[in-house]
Amino acid sequence: MELRLYQVDAFTGAVFKGNPAAVVPLPSWPADRLLQAIAMENNLSETAFYVGASGNYELRWFTPLCEVDLCGHATLATAAVLCTEEERGLKEARFSTRSGELRVRALEDTYELDFPSKPPRLCEHPPQALLDGLGIAPREVYQVDDWMAVYDNEEQVRALNPDMRLLRSLSLRGVIATAPGKEADFVSRFFAPAVGIDEDPVTGSAHCLLTPFWSTRLGKQDLFAQQLSRRGGTLHCTLQGDRVLIAGRCALYLRGSIFVKE
C-alpha cells in the first residue's frame, strides 16, 4: 500500500526551525499497530493521520511510543497540508479527535488553532521526582494534564538540564517549564520522556495551560509566546472564554510516499 506523506515544520516560517511533524492522509483507518509502526519509523515527536474531506476530518496523533489525546503542532501541520496541498483553498478544517472537535482557520500567513482552555491548579506538594528531575527549584508548581513549573526569569528556564530518568517516572504526560520572557510575554520548554520525547521543540497543547495562566498573571488576553528549545518557535495566543486560540506559521519540508503492508 502506498500512502502520501508530508513533513512540515510548525510554529515557524522557515524549515529547520519549529517542530517537525509528519502528516499522512488515509482513505480509511487501518489497524492501530500500523499507525504506531509508521510513527515509530518516522521517529518524529508526532505523526498525524487523518481521514475525511471537504473540511471535516477524523484526526489522530502518535509519538514513536504511543497515541496521545491532544497535539497542537501536528494539528497545525495537518491544516497546512490540507490548505496548501491536499485541498488547496480550504479556509477552515474541523477535526474530530480524542479531545473533542478542534478547528483550525487559515489566515493570511498563519494558521489558528481553536483549542480548549485548561487552567492549571496549584500543586502545594509537588512530587520530589519532579523537583529533583528539573534540578533548579521552581517558584511554583501547577498541574492539569501536565506538570507546570513556574520560574522567576527566562535565564532559569534556559539553564534547565533535566534528569529524564526522573521525569519519566512522573504520572502525568509531561513537564512544562515557564517564566516571563524578555522579548515575549512568556517563554517555555516542554519535556515528555514518558511518551518518548525528551524535549519537544514547540508544544501547542502546552499552551492550553500556559495561556490561561499567563493571561491571568499578566492581565491581558493576547499573548506572544516563545518556546526555548534548540530549534525554537513562536506562538500567538488568545484567551477567549473556555477556548484558547493559538496561531503560528508552517513551512513544508518534504512531500513523498511511503510503502507499507496492511
67 is catalytic: no
How far apart are alpha carbons 215 and 233 in whole angstroms? Answer: 20
Cell of 133: 528531575
DSSP β-bridge partners for residue 21: 8
Do 38 and 25 form a contact (C-beta atoms < 8 A)? no
| Three-class SS of 156-184 | HHHHCCCCHHHHHCCCCCCEEEEEECCCC
List 2, 46, 58, 183, catalytic entry: 46
The Cα–Cα gap between 220 and 214 comes to 8
**Residue in 70, 69, 81, 60 with CA at minimum distance from that of residue 8:** 81
Q: Are 159 and 178 in contact (CB under 8 A)?
A: no
223, 215 Cβ separation under 8 angstroms: yes
Nearest CA to 208 out of 127, 129, 126, 148 is that of: 148
CA 207 to CA 220: how far, in whole Å?
Answer: 15
In this structure, what DSSP letter does residue 193 have?
G
Instruction: Say if CB 1 and CB 259 are below 8 A apart.
Output: yes
| DSSP letter, residue 84 | I
**Active-site residues: which are they?**
46
